[in-house]
């Protein structure tokens, strides 16, 4: 369906954003369901972000997604937050209604759905997760709610470290999952954490695009460890290549993108995304 004067528009704000398959995913879904909507991706500099959001609001954008590095910086610009977004302090989906912007986080839902889709058992498991940005905190919250027993977070010891310690304590007290925080630079702690873990998740952008690096030395990986990455471009980061070479089950972020997008699609339109169609047209070819 070609856009006309009454077409509703949705979009992605990120940096980078040009690699995103979200436009194809959503536009294919709109067309399949005969919805008069379109979806675009905008690569926005951080210095332009506030103005970009104001512009979307002024133009009547019906909703938008956020990717790195905007999942936290969007929060002060919103009128309301969903409970999950409050708990994760992260927003990746915004719904605009009557000029008001409400933020949601669907990353965690998408990641846990992707693990289920990939046959990865996570209930009562121990997880090591690298990073504590928007996607990572959303995954941590949903994993704790979905029955993971223990989560060890590794992040840089910078100005936000203490706030993530507080976040971990909040999740521990609010769920049946024990959550701990460690310095990313502490290789001994990382090695110990991996030895007790069932699943390792890279929740950072290390390994994205042309970045051929990994936060985990290959010698720390072992076959019984399932290794996941939120990155889907490239399909196999250095971490996943290393893990695959030692016999680990691996999962990249492509189906996380699919299922978080499906949740956003439902929030925006009230319709279910045609999952099988999107898998065949956007992910499996």
Catalytic residues: 71
Phi, psi of 63 (to 5 degrees): 175, 160
* 238 close to 214: Cβ distance less than 8 angstroms: yes
Give SS3 for 238: helix
> Can you read off the two tokens belonging to residue 155?
């992040």
DSSP secondary structure code for residue 213 in this structure: -
Alpha carbon separation from 215 to 56, 219, 240 (Å, rounded): 36, 12, 11
Residue 11: closest CA among 109, 92, 104: 92
**DSSP conformation letters of 16-67:** S-TT--HHHHHHHHHHHTT-SEEEEEEE--GGGHHHHHHHHHHTT--EEEE-
Residue 273 region, left (φ>0) first, then alpha (ψ -120 to 50), else beta? beta
Q: Name 81's bridge partners.
A: 103
d(CA 108, CA 88): 9
């Amino acid at each position: 369906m070609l856009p006309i004067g009454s077409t509703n528009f949705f979009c992605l704000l990120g940096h980078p954003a040009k690699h995103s398959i979200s436009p194809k995913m959503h536009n294919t879904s709109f067309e399949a369901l005969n919805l008069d909507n379109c979806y675009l991706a905008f690569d926005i500099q951080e210095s332009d972000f506030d103005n970009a959001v104001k512009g979307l609001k002024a133009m009547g954008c019906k909703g938008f997604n956020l990717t790195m590095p905007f999942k936290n910086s969007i929060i002060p610009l919103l009128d309301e937050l969903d409970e999950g977004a409050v708990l994760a302090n992260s927003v990746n989906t915004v719904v605009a209604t009557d000029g008001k912007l409400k933020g949601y986080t669907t990353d965690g839902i998408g990641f846990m759905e992707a693990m289920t889709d990939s046959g990865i058992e996570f209930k009562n498991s121990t997880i090591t997760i690298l990073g504590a940005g928007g996607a990572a905190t959303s995954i941590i919250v949903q994993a704790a709610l979905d029955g993971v027993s223990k989560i060890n977070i590794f992040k840089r010891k910078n100005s936000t470290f203490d706030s993530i310690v507080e976040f971990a304590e909040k999740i521990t007290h609010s769920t049946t999952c024990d959550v701990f925080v460690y310095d990313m630079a502490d290789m001994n702690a990382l090695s110990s954490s991996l030895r007790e873990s069932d699943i390792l998740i890279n929740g950072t952008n290390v390994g994205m695009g042309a970045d051929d690096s990994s936060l985990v030395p290959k010698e720390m990986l072992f076959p019984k460890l399932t290794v996941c990455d939120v990155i889907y471009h490239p399909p196999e980061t250095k971490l996943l290549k290393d893990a695959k070479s030692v016999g680990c089950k691996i999962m990249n972020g492509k189906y996380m993108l699919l299922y978080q997008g499906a949740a956003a699609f439902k929030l925006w339109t009230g319709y279910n995304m045609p999952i099988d169609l999107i898998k065949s047209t956007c992910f499996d070819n």
